[in-house]
Structure 1
Amino acid sequence: MKRLTTLIAAIMLVPFFVQAQDLADALRYSEFQVQGTARAGAMGNAFGALGGDFTSVSINPAGLGLYRADELVLTPTFGQSKVESSYFGNTMNDSKYNFSLNNLSYVSAIQTGNQSETGLVNLNVGIGYNRVKDFNNNMLAGATNPDGSFLDYMADNATVGNWSDFYEQLAWDTYLLWKEDNSDVYWHDLDSEGANYGQSQRKSITKQGYMNEYSLALGMNFNHKLYLGASIGIVDVFYKETSELLEWDEQNRSEFFNEMQFDSYLRTSGTGYNGKIGVIFKPINEIRLGASVHTPTFYNLHDVFETSMYSNAADEEGVMGNFEAQSPYSEYDYDLESPLRATLSGAFVIAKKGLLSIDYEFVDYASANLRRGGDGYQFVDENDEISEVYRSVGNLRVGGELLATSSVSLRAGFEYYPSAYNENAFGVSQPNADVNTNIYSAGLGYRSGGFFFDLAYRYTDTGNYDSLYPAPPTDFYNMPEMAHFNTTKNNVRFTFGFKF
């Protein structure tokens, strides 16, 4: 029973509480949306049946076969993310600006010398990268908590024998955790008389990093009707998360506790490898049909993790003072296999004046697997949790383009990404099961000779429920209050391209 209640608490609090390698890592590096060129971004990245844009290499590499000329493009991006939280009725918000280079690529269109325009017409090679995920974000939540404390989790953990140098040891060293004489029961001053809660709490998290996919791709054009493609991708991963949890006795309810601060630091770096194959078929000039399959991405990851704690509290003599403690410096290597992906696509060209396109992408997040820990650990329990907590989803991308003049195009798009969480896990409802991501986009393009310029605006809206700290492992039904976070992102992309 202890294992089950601890597991359920961890499941519900995965995203907001940094721990060891677990199902949070599996989702973090498996769930993403391609962030390539401005043209694709304006059209909702619905490029599985279109091609002619390097973003398609990360969706359906057969799109490389539609190129008829060499091309060099780059896409700088500027954006802002804003997170608004609600916790115990209190609202807070934080934001972060970010500048990045989302795409840099070169395509060489190689004519086969086939003058009849039948058989193999083009053999194209592309190299470059698309950003597939941007982690940059700031989160802030806080209020007065009448019900509990982070110290509840550590006191209960210590009592049941779950002692960690990264958590309980720090609380012990800073006089925040106490032990009953002649027993194994641990307690803390905020709950020493059962009525001292009511301290103020605030947690802030800063996230930084990216996932960039570097691709080498080959596309073939047969008869201007059948296009085949394949690519090899190398994913560069960098993720850094720092958090600060504060609790302070603003109402002077405790004689022996004034304030505490718990800081955590996680940095993950590594490389992943994958392959993609795809096909695009034009039964008639107005219709294009596409399909692609992505292998799992096989990651080799390296984690660095450490924590620290500060308190202003009473020592064993009852004297108030400032105390600090630092955890060991932990490094750990492990592997991760992300889910396989499959995409079906369709596009309709309207009298050479415009087009409509749609992609449906299938991903089974429950199939992600942690592998080969640096100390030989095999993650059997963690992989069972992944298969129970996550589910398969169907992502939808829709886009359109209108040729307003011979050189100016107008574009719009929409993307829908359902939650990766099951409705229930281990018999408990998951609050994040109904949290979906919606992306609205629009933009324009300009063509003049061998130069083109594209502009895209993208608005992302998503949300999630998280707690500032986990529930005590033997008192799951006294779950901490969950905060609701609503995240919005405003993003502007500029693509500069040259055809020659």
Structure 2
Amino acid sequence: MKSNKHINPLFNAISPRFLTVGLLAIILLAPTLLSAQYYQDAIRFSNTTPLGSARIQALGGSSVALGADPSSIVTNPAGLGLYNRSEFTITPAFNYTLSRTDLNGTRTTDELPKWSLDQISGVLSQSREGIGGWLGGAWGISVQKINDFNSSYTYNGTNNTSSIIDYFVESAWGAPTTQFPAPSDAFDLTSLAYYNYLIGPWTVVDSTYANDEYFSDVTFLGSSFLRPTLQQHETVTTKGSQYQINFGYGGNFADVLYLGFNVGLTTLQYKSIKTYREDSFDYSQTDEPDHHPLNDFDLTEELAINGAGANLTVGIIVRPIPIFRIGASITTPTAYALNDSYGTTMGANWNNFLYGDIIDGDTLLNKTYMESPYIESNYNLKTPMKYALGTAVFFGKLGFVTLDAELLDYSNTWLKSDNASLDAALESDNNYIWDNYDKRVNLRAGAELRLSPVRLRAGYAINGTPNDHSSSLKFYNQTFSAGVGVLFDQFYADFAAVYKYQKSQYSPYLLPDRSEPIVDIAQNTIRTVLTLGFRF
């Protein structure tokens, strides 16, 4: 029996690079798609959230209209104009993430503790006394984390509907075996599957078949297609962060109008390691219960991306009356120059299986293994423009409430390379972004109660995550925060605790009949932050 030929347009729509299909988790949380994906990296690196001082994190990240905080340098540099004293601050943080996965009822838990430095800053105030006119301003410089990629989760489960081998068959289908480079040059997973004998051309079964159609001994015997029950396991670990070095100025006109700008120089380090395994193949429920060609196989992917970029932020705050402020800022697209390095390995543990080759004779399979050369590429990324609007209402010396909204249009994310062949592939990614991503709004709110010298704070944020409209996989992200601070003449200390809850789904591969496994992922992160400020 010969299989029907499947055509999956997704395989032709996206540039090849990775193993897995998952939805960006916190973001982006989980890397994705077995046939992809520069576009997913582009979305991941565009979805930034400045972490900032403990005060602002306790307020849910709402800072556009507040000012007089080192976080203003990034979110709205006009806030520098509200400083009347110089200061130096440092903000260390500790993250604890608990990840829970569920694959077909099998639950797995992972823990990840991590120390980090969220911000270090210095502000030089040049304010001057006066009633009207120009009242000076302040210069600010800071290094601030704007994205954290540290994450790890594992899933395990039983699958009786598909195997990643099905994806390899689909991916190879339609092109002759000459599509596979020499073993020393094979860098994609489908080629590695071919050289590990996980897939082969139908000519192995019958020489009258064309050699552009494929099968697997794991799911085929004689004239029968088989669907074994098997165990699937994967660990996905990501590391790294994005930081921004900031040089900003904010000025004060009559304590009513504040204007500012900031030049941001960004750095990016990202690493993803994925280890995938299938084992415990059980044919007892098939027509060939004694068939047992393969014990297990595994593959590993490593991707490292490094780069730097630049952007400009301009902002305004208006205080028409002492108790009310409204602020707005615009951040230009960040222009990145990126370098990535990608490599993979694959090995199979066969059960002394006799692989029939009608041309070269029979091949007895025990252990097979291949690793790809590392492939490097250089390209440019332009992230979307950011628009932010915020308000703050003050209740005398009792405190305030504040609310921010931030708009990004992810469809304006753009990739380009000076390498002609890579640029052609990136154009497909650009089209995919344009067709499947759109505008998203992030909302952040916070409140502060002042009980001199103590400040009590609380906040909430919900992020309009950049979901891929072409995928059924979904993602959700919200944070709750609280904090306390003490303020003295020349020193202050702020503490914040931030609870982030993220839900996402992930698939290690996609198939035309949608029989791929879907992993439910829930991540709970508790973030504790301390800011120490020294005023002079």
Please, what TM-score do these two structures have when normalized by structure 1?
A: 0.93
For the pair shown, which has the larger CA radius of gyration, 1 or 2? 2
Of 177-186 and 93-102, more deviation after overlay is shown by 177-186
1:402 aligns with 449
Aligned pairs for 1:76-91 (under 5 A) are 76-91=92-107
- Asked if 1 retains the 8 angstrom alpha-carbon contact of 2:72 and 2:80, the reply is yes
Within the alignment, does 1:285 sit opposite 2:322 as a pair? yes
- Asked if 1 retains the 8 angstrom alpha-carbon contact of 2:228 and 2:282, the reply is no
The separation in 1 between residues aligned to 2:381 and 2:174, in whole angstroms, is 31
Of 8-17 and 383-392, more deviation after overlay is shown by 8-17
| 1:456-481 C-alpha deviation (Å, 9 max, x unpaired) | 0000011111112232xxxx124402
1:35 aligns with 51
2:230 counterpart letter in structure 1: Q
Inter-CA distance 179–7: structure 2 relative to 1 (3 Å threshold): closer
1:129 counterpart letter in structure 2: V
1:430 aligns with 472
Aligned pairs for 1:233-252 (under 5 A) are 233-249=264-280, 251=282
Equivalent position to 1:470, from 497, 505, 510: 510
2:488 aligns with 448
Equivalent position to 2:307, from 266, 270, 274: 270
The separation in 1 between residues aligned to 2:190 and 2:34, in whole angstroms, is 15
Equivalent position to 2:342, from 277, 287, 305: 305
Deviation at 1:448, TM superposition (A): 2.1
Inter-CA distance 336–385: structure 2 relative to 1 (3 Å threshold): same
Within the alignment, does 1:220 sit opposite 2:251 as a pair? yes
Deviation at 1:13, TM superposition (A): 4.2
- Asked if 1 retains the 8 angstrom alpha-carbon contact of 2:227 and 2:283, the reply is no
| 1:14-60 C-alpha deviation (Å, 9 max, x unpaired) | 63346554320121101121111100000011110001111122111
SS of residue in 1 equivalent to 2:236: strand
- Identical amino acids, percent of aligned pairs: 28
Inter-CA distance 373–89: structure 2 relative to 1 (3 Å threshold): farther
Equivalent position to 1:126, from 123, 140, 159: 140
Deviation at 1:172, TM superposition (A): 2.2
- Asked if 1 retains the 8 angstrom alpha-carbon contact of 2:103 and 2:157, the reply is yes
1:29 counterpart letter in structure 2: F
2:198 aligns with 176
Deviation at 1:369, TM superposition (A): 0.8
Inter-CA distance 230–397: structure 2 relative to 1 (3 Å threshold): same
Aligned pairs for 1:132-143 (under 5 A) are 132-143=146-157
Instruction: Report how many residues are paired.
Output: 487
1:354 counterpart letter in structure 2: G
| 1:52-92 C-alpha deviation (Å, 9 max, x unpaired) | 11112211111111111111000000011122111122111
- Asked if 2 retains the 8 angstrom alpha-carbon contact of 1:267 and 1:305, the reply is yes
Within the alignment, does 1:71 sit opposite 2:87 as a pair? yes
2:161 counterpart letter in structure 1: D
Deviation at 1:157, TM superposition (A): 1.6
Inter-CA distance 101–251: structure 2 relative to 1 (3 Å threshold): same
Of 336-345 and 194-203, more deviation after overlay is shown by 194-203
- Asked if 2 retains the 8 angstrom alpha-carbon contact of 1:68 and 1:122, the reply is no
Equivalent position to 2:117, from 91, 95, 101: 101
SS of residue in 2 equivalent to 1:431: coil
Within the alignment, does 1:55 sit opposite 2:71 as a pair? yes
SS of residue in 2 equivalent to 1:420: coil
Instruction: Give unmatched runs, 5+ long, in structure 1.
Output: none
SS of residue in 2 equivalent to 1:498: strand
| 1:133-160 C-alpha deviation (Å, 9 max, x unpaired) | 1100001112111011111111222222
Deviation at 1:380, TM superposition (A): 2.1
Equivalent position to 2:171, from 137, 143, 157: 157
| 1:477-498 C-alpha deviation (Å, 9 max, x unpaired) | 2440211111111100011110
1:299 counterpart letter in structure 2: Y
1:419 counterpart letter in structure 2: T
The separation in 2 between residues aligned to 1:385 and 1:260, in whole angstroms, is 32
Instruction: Give unmatched runs, 5+ long, in structure 2.
Output: 1-5, 24-30, 181-185, 285-290, 356-361
Deviation at 1:320, TM superposition (A): 4.4
- Asked if 1 retains the 8 angstrom alpha-carbon contact of 2:21 and 2:33, the reply is no
Deviation at 1:166, TM superposition (A): 1.7
2:3 aligns with none
- Asked if 2 retains the 8 angstrom alpha-carbon contact of 1:13 and 1:470, the reply is no
Please, what TM-score do these two structures have when normalized by structure 2?
A: 0.87
2:498 aligns with 458
- Asked if 2 retains the 8 angstrom alpha-carbon contact of 1:332 and 1:373, the reply is no
The separation in 1 between residues aligned to 2:38 and 2:108, in whole angstroms, is 29
The separation in 2 between residues aligned to 1:85 and 1:188, in whole angstroms, is 29
Inter-CA distance 247–3: structure 2 relative to 1 (3 Å threshold): closer
